[in-house]
Amino acid sequence: MEDLLDRLGTRLKAQRAAKSFSLEALAAASGVSRSMISEIERGTKMPTVIVLARLATALGTTVSRLMGEEQPDRVIRLRREDQPSITDATGWMRQILSPTLPGVEFEFIRTTIPGGVVVGEFAAHAAGSREYIAVETGSLKVTLDGIDHVLNPGDSLYYAGDCVHAFANAGAIECIYYTVMNVARSIHDSAA
């Protein structure tokens, strides 16, 4: 766990430096306190999935980039045990199925949510970001800018990722769903 904390802290600090964000600027952009960001960067605190997602969104990147090293190979196999995952205190797990590629802000994610668990709200990504969801088992409530969409096994949903989005399993059985996300570069990034 310490190794994961250290790597995550190093990557967060490197992404923050690459974007020329001070701790205060990242705190303001993400809604995560300066002290929490500092603790994560020092490797002394493991963030929740929501906090990690807020930081990634504020930096215009993916959780994958914060958790994994870039892999420039043309063919990359990720064995299950090598796929980064993070489990929230409420029991839902986010498993990253895609490698982190240089210059590509893309994620393929498998999420497992126990019955009755509310994942929470994610901030809007940069304009031009796209997300696709497919439900394997259970029922998933996706809330996009305050409008609920209920997905059942086999259902899929596309939405522009530049909206506030939230997820919940209002059912009694475990929900497993997949997300494919492409985060667009922000205007700040394209000017650099």
The string of pLDDT tens digits covering residues 56-80 is 999 988 888 888 778 888 899 999 9
Phi, psi of 41 (to 5 degrees): -65, -30
Instruction: Give the model's pLDDT for residue 70.
Output: 82
49-63, 142-156, 168-182: segment of lowest average pLDDT: 49-63
Q: Which of 134, 93, 138 is nearest to 112 (CA)?
A: 93
Give the chain as a DSSP string.
-HHHHHHHHHHHHHHHHHTT--HHHHHHHHS--HHHHHHHHHTS-PPPHHHHHHHHHHHTS-HHHHHS-B---SS----GGGS-EEE-TTS-EEEE-S-B-TT--EEEEEEEE-TT-EEEEE----TT-EEEEEEEES-EEEEETTEEEEE-TT-EEEEESSS-EEEE--SSS-EEEEEEEEPPPPHHHHH-
Instruction: Give the model's pLDDT for residue 150.
Output: 97
Instruction: Look up tokens 């964000």; give the residue.
Output: 21
pTM (2 decimals)?
0.82
Q: Which of 138, 174, 172, 144 is nearest to 160 (CA)?
A: 144
Average pLDDT over residues 88-113: 92
The whole-angstrom distance between residue 77's C-alpha and the CA centroid of its chain comes to 21
Judged against a pLDDT cut of 80, whether residue 188 lies above it is answered with: no
pLDDT tens for each residue of 122-142: 999 999 999 999 999 999 999
Task: Provide CB contacts within 8 A for 10, sequence distance 6+.
Answer: 41, 43
Phi, psi of 105 (to 5 degrees): -105, 80
